[in-house]
């Protein structure tokens, strides 16, 4: 099969492409390299700032179009898969539809559908934007206003979203959150795929014995700190260390080279990842593959979606329960004898549900169904 990925997020499409090549398929990635991550791509579509950067970017897209023809499957990274306004992205979308056998979409990131579901009061109990019927800290922040997140409410966004959903041949979700908001709209045109992790190249560092001290780790992304609840996780971790200084410690990493980040991560036992998620995402899964225990999202809806009823290594934190973070971190400290078991389960969980070739086969199964219906 010949597959083209247009756009990428957190290296997901590139990881999938590598796994598909291992399985004997042709896979091409056209992307901006997941922005600051600068991940591998076969066709470089990185936009540079300024007016000249914008002109150059449009020319780069136009030059790339002839290389985006005659694929069995084109998988776009959400609705806005290029760094362009909806009207211009739609022209590229139409080109891809005309010149390839099928166009499907990775359901991920913030878009009109996800943003609307976050505010409808029924899809989620909590989200990046709402905690029950109240705005989240992010929705009340200056950061939110500066990014003009309310642009998702504009009629042009709804019109473009409706157009894409009407014309794609299907969608594949990477998290339960996106499965939940897209399934009512797409029915059997959406399937759950998950996030691929190249476990073969992620060496596990399993916790073999109960440690003298629990080593907590948290990585700060300044532009996503409030959005992901990292600020509240950090505050709770500091309180826990202050309360139990002989039994735990905390490493905080911000804006360091990737290799230094990995070294500090690998010398830790527990990663503090996200507060408002129902599902462990890329950062948590990569840490789990290394044998760390993740404090993140792992709600019953997620376990039901993946059919997992035995492996439960993720320490789920609930933003609707006051003091829940502190209680969960304190539980880890008081039950540090459980870390070897949870460490082994973390690696086993990723191998079972997110190993790159396993995820790639889910995508292949779905694409084959899509292509079968188009015959």
What residue spans define the domains of the chain?
2-196+356-373, 199-353
The predicted pLDDT at position 126 comes to 97
* Buried b or exposed e, range 171-180, using 16+ CB within 10 angstroms: bbbbbbbbbb
Q: At what angle do helices 356-373 and 12-22 cross, to 10 degrees?
A: 80
* CATH number, domain 199-353: 3.40.50.2000
Q: How many C-beta atoms surround the C-beta of residue 284 within 10 A?
A: 26
Report the DSSP beta bridge partners of residue 272: 295
Query: Tokens 């030059």 belong to which residue?
Result: 63
pLDDT in tens, the chain (375 residues): 999 999 999 899 999 999 999 999 999 999 998 877 788 999 999 999 999 999 999 999 999 999 999 999 999 999 999 999 999 999 999 999 999 999 999 999 999 999 999 999 999 999 999 999 999 999 999 888 888 777 888 999 999 999 999 999 999 999 999 999 999 999 999 999 999 999 999 999 999 999 999 999 999 877 778 999 999 999 999 999 999 999 999 999 987 777 788 888 999 999 999 999 999 999 999 999 999 999 999 999 999 999 999 999 999 999 999 999 999 999 999 999 999 999 999 999 999 999 999 999 999 999 999 999 987
The predicted pLDDT at position 308 comes to 97
Contact 11, 39 (CB under 8 A): yes
* Residue 366, helix vs strand vs coil: helix
Contact 30, 38 (CB under 8 A): no
The predicted pLDDT at position 318 comes to 96
Distance CA 75, CA 104 (A): 5
Common-topology check for domains 2-196+356-373 and 199-353: yes
Q: Label residue 40 exposed, middle or buried (CB < 10 Å: 0-12, 13-18, 19+).
A: middle
The predicted pLDDT at position 139 comes to 93
Domain 2-196+356-373 has CATH 3.40.50: yes
Segment 93-120, tens digit of pLDDT: 999 999 999 999 999 999 999 999 999 9
């Amino acid at each position: 099969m010949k597959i083209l990925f247009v756009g990428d997020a957190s290296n997901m499409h590139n990881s999938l492409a590598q796994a598909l090549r291992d399985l004997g398929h042709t896979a091409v990635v056209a992307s901006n390299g997941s922005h600051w991550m600068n991940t591998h791509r076969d066709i470089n579509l990185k936009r540079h700032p300024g007016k000249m950067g914008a002109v150059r970017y449009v020319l780069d897209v136009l030059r790339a179009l002839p290389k985006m023809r005659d694929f069995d499957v084109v998988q776009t990274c959400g609705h806005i898969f290029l760094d362009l306004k909806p009207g211009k992205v739609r022209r590229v979308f139409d080109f891809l539809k005309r010149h390839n056998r099928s166009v499907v979409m990775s359901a991920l990131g913030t878009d009109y559908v996800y943003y609307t579901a976050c505010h409808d009061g029924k899809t989620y109990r909590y989200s990046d934007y709402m905690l029950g019927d109240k705005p989240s800290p992010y929705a009340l922040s200056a950061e939110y206003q500066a990014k003009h997140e309310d642009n998702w409410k504009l009629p042009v966004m709804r019109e473009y979203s409706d157009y894409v959903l009407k014309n794609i041949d299907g969608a594949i979700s990477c998290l339960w959150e996106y499965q939940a908001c897209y399934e009512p709209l797409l029915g059997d045109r959406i399937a759950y795929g998950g996030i691929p992790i190249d476990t073969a190249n992620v060496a596990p560092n399993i916790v073999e014995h109960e440690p003298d001290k629990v080593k907590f780790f948290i990585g700060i992304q300044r532009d996503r700190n409030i959005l992901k609840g990292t600020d509240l996780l950090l505050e709770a971790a500091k309180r826990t260390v202050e309360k139990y200084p002989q039994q735990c410690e905390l490493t905080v990493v911000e804006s360091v080279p990737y290799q230094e980040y990995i070294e500090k991560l690998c010398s830790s036992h527990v990663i503090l990842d996200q507060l408002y998620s129902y599902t462990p995402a890329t950062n948590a899964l990569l840490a789990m593959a290394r044998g760390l225990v993740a404090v993140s999202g792992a709600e019953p809806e997620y376990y039901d979606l993946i059919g997992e009823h035995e492996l439960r290594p993720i320490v789920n934190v609930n933003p609707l329960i006051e003091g829940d973070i502190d209680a969960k971190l304190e539980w880890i400290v008081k039950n540090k004898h459980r870390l070897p078991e949870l460490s082994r389960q973390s690696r086993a969980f990723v191998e079972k549900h997110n190993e790159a070739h396993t995820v790639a086969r889910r995508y292949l199964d779905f694409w084959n169904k899509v292509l079968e219906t188009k015959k």
